[in-house]
Amino acid sequence: MATLFQKLFAIIVWLYKYKWRLLGSVIGLMTISLLLGKLYQHWDDDPDRGAVAMANGAFGESYSTPVYLDQGWSESESLWFYNTTQGSGLLPYDLYLSLEESSSQRLLRDNANMDKYRYLPQKPTFFNPNGLAVGFVKDEYQGKDYVGFTCAACHTSQVNFKGQAIRIDGGPAMSDISGFFAELEKSMMATLTDSAKQQRFIANVLALENNYKNADQVVADLKKWSGTIHLYNTVNHSHVKYGYARLDAFGRIYNRVLQHMINKEQLSNAMKLAVSPTGVRILTDAQITNVLAGVGENIIVDSQFSKIINRLASHDQGYPGLNLRDLLRVRDQIFNEADAPVSYPFLWDIGQSDYVQWNGLAQNYALGPLGRNTGEVIGVFGILDWTAEEPSHFDLSSLLTDQKNKNKVVNFKSSIDLTNLQRLEAQLQRLQSPVWPQEILGKIDTVKAERGQTLFAQYCQACHVVVDRANSKRLVVASMIDIDIVGTDKKMALNGVQYAGKSGNLKDTVQATDVGNVVIREDAPVVQILTSATKGVIATPDADKWFLRRWLDRLYTLGLSFFDNDIPNTVKSGNYKSDTTSNPYNSLLAYKGRSLNGIWATAPYLHNGSVPTLYDLLLPKKRAGDPDDGEYRPDSFVVGAREFDPVKVGFISAGYDGFTYNTSIALDRPVEGNDNAGHEYAAGKTPQLNGSVLPALNEQQRWDLIEYLKTL
């Protein structure tokens, strides 16, 4: 012991004599670097924020250069939000820049093509020299360039009215992510099989003179990444079609975590449980052994999982040659179907909210925002270079994930940029909701709005608090309502709690909940696995930064999380099931009522986007026995156009060839994930927080309430 103290004392003396000046200089340089970073954010100040006019876009839409409303952000702040990386690596940047559509020579990233999938076209600007659509950005990891998603891909919207476009920062995207990824896979496969297309592709990639030196490298990476995209699409294949403006983000995040945590033994055992409708095993032990040959024992990386999927479908070398249905039956033993698409939440007020996510999963206190955003980047292609290693003498990640007694520990190395996530969260605190632009969408009838304000106080305000949009220190308290009470589609909330999977190296580790510690079993709720994995990523040093920069950035990130976050540590508000020791995630079986400022710009409505306009939201769902001449929510409508309906308040939902959203198979037989029932307060069917049911609004009252909602 004396020897240890002597060594420590000697180190302190040495630091005192020689290193403090150097350390002070380094810290000073880091401070200057951060200040320069703040200035750098303002270098891209295009007056149009990169937005461009569109002629003959999707669904025949043409519009002039979009305008912006006053949401508290300058031109440079909008562009910084669009183009700031989170550490997402969808595929190598050079490949993305050069990839053509599957059926033409037009580039996949061409503005007209991206508009088809409802991503917002942009022109080249300082931070976006290649003019990528909003939310697509160049990222760098381990010396290579990738294209990835930013927050803006899912949280920037546009409203069109009579040829004039309005960009909404922080608004819910209209994008069709499933359609885009299907085309991305087709384009990559076409490039592999069409020799002329492949030669053009190779020539264009090499002309960039960036990450590739010869054609063999280009083709090798094209094969590798096409396999990764095919794997992603197969794992997340769903019988529920998303269409525009929706994504099952939870389901896809859950699947990415399961893919990177399951070990070979657990994967083999899971595959043995896949059976046909007659109860016969789909795979024999010998077939499983053959399919898993050469796969790592602990962490199974993307390229290996891609091989597994291809082998399962192949007839070569003794592989089973499964059809799609049987392949999905095997998948369902490993992953969970991502079949609960929801609308992208709007982001204003997120920095001032006590709980976020549709089901209130994420508390915004302390490190809550960092954990939430880390989970989000796991879902949008953070490169997860997780490995199983011999434990070191001290590892914060292993400590926080309770792997300290494991023979192998998971190193949660990744491309996720925690510093940028913290900076983005800080900027969102300044984002304000958009105010109804009367000069574009028409004047608000103040007499009707005043009558509507009284109705809002009676019918809505118990759950949807009215806030001062310009007060950055406001606290927005969410009202969590039990799914059995609010009556809206339950699928997303149920999946969030009930979905389970193999925990890999986290098996038998301990995790804290609000009602006590739990042991993560081999078959565990995915919410537990995700929680531990997120902690592991946050606690793992950034692989792209040198030692001192890592720790200074970590101090900066943690410091802002605690000292720049005024959200108190409180229990949830509302009417919901309490967590118990036997059901520690009960409170997640609820949906959140949040403030409605800017609600006019966030259609379609309800958490799953099942109601096209605010007026329709005030109507009941038609049920068996209801008179045919009543006024009801539409059970089918069209989604995809951005043309605005300022009367009913929402996007037009008929008269064009968009995605048809079907809420029901038949009367009283909803499509799970698509149901448009519930939240029928204005129709006199859903009880208020105090249990009372108010009388249904008449038509005039509905229009009065709509007029008031425009003012929020």
pLDDT at 30 over 70: no
According to DSSP, residue 95 is labeled H
| pLDDT at residue 27 is higher than 70 | no
Closest CA to 173 of 211, 133, 212: 133
Task: Identify the residue with better confidence: 3 or 547.
Answer: 547
Distance CA 84, CA 128 (A): 10
- Per-residue pLDDT for 604 more than 80? yes
Report the alpha-carbon distance of residue 25 to residue 417 in Å, rounded. 25
Say yes or no to pLDDT of 6 above 70: no
pLDDT tens-digit readout, 291-311: 999 998 888 888 899 999 999
Computed over every residue of the chain, the mean pLDDT equals 92
3-state helix, strand, coil in the chain (%, to 5): 40, 15, 45
Contact present, 172 and 348 (Cβ < 8 Å): no
- In angstroms, the CA 29 to CA 32 distance is 5
Q: 259-303, pLDDT tens digit by residue?
A: 999 999 999 999 999 999 999 999 999 999 999 999 988 888 888
Question: Does 28 score more than 70 pLDDT?
Answer: no
Which residues on adjacent β-strands are paired with residue 510? 519
Integer Cα distance of 127 and 137 in angstroms: 9
**Band of residue 701 on the pLDDT scale cut at 50, 70, 90:** very high
Model confidence at 35: pLDDT above 60? no
CA distances to 135, 242, 640 from 117, in Å: 13, 12, 9
pLDDT at 11 over 90: no
- Residues pairing with 168 in the sheet: 157
Sign of CA dihedral 22, 24, 27, 31: negative
CA distance 655 to 653: 7
Residue whose token pair is 């308290």: 477
The domains of the chain are located at: 1-40, 58-235, 249-334, 352-444+473-592
Burial environment of residue 100 by CB neighbours within 10 A (0 to 12, 13 to 18, 19 or more): buried
What span, in angstroms and rounded, lies between the C-alpha atoms of 641 and 191? 31
Question: DSSP secondary structure string, 239-300?
Answer: SS---TTEE-HHHHHHHHHHHHH--HHHHHHHHHT-B-TTS-BSS-HHHHHHHTTT--SS--
Q: Kindly state the tokens that stand for 85.
A: 């990386």
Torsion of CA 469, 471, 475, 481, to 10 degrees: -10
So what's the pLDDT on residue 12?
46
Rama region for 162: left / alpha / beta (φ>0; ψ in -120 to 50; rest): left
pLDDT computed for residue 32 by the predictor: 53
pLDDT, one tens digit per residue, over 616-630 is 999 999 998 999 999
Rounded CA separation 95/502 (Å): 34
CB atoms within 10 A of CB 547: 8
Three-class DSSP category at 165:
strand
Q: Which run of H or of E encompasses 524?
A: strand 523-525
What percent of the chain stands above pLDDT 70? 93
Alpha-carbon span 111 to 121, nearest angstrom: 5
Joined tokens for residue 667: 């009367």
Q: Tokens 């969410």 label which residue?
A: 478
pLDDT tens readout for residues 639-688: 999 999 999 999 999 999 999 999 987 666 788 999 999 999 999 999 99
Token pair in block for residue 490: 């339950």
Report whether 311 contacts 319 (CB < 8 A). Answer: yes
Q: What is the DSSP letter of 309?
A: H
Which amino acid is present at 256?
R
The three-class DSSP label of residue 678 is coil
Q: Please tell me the distance from the alpha carbon of residue 420 to that of residue 667, in angstroms, as a whole number.
A: 48
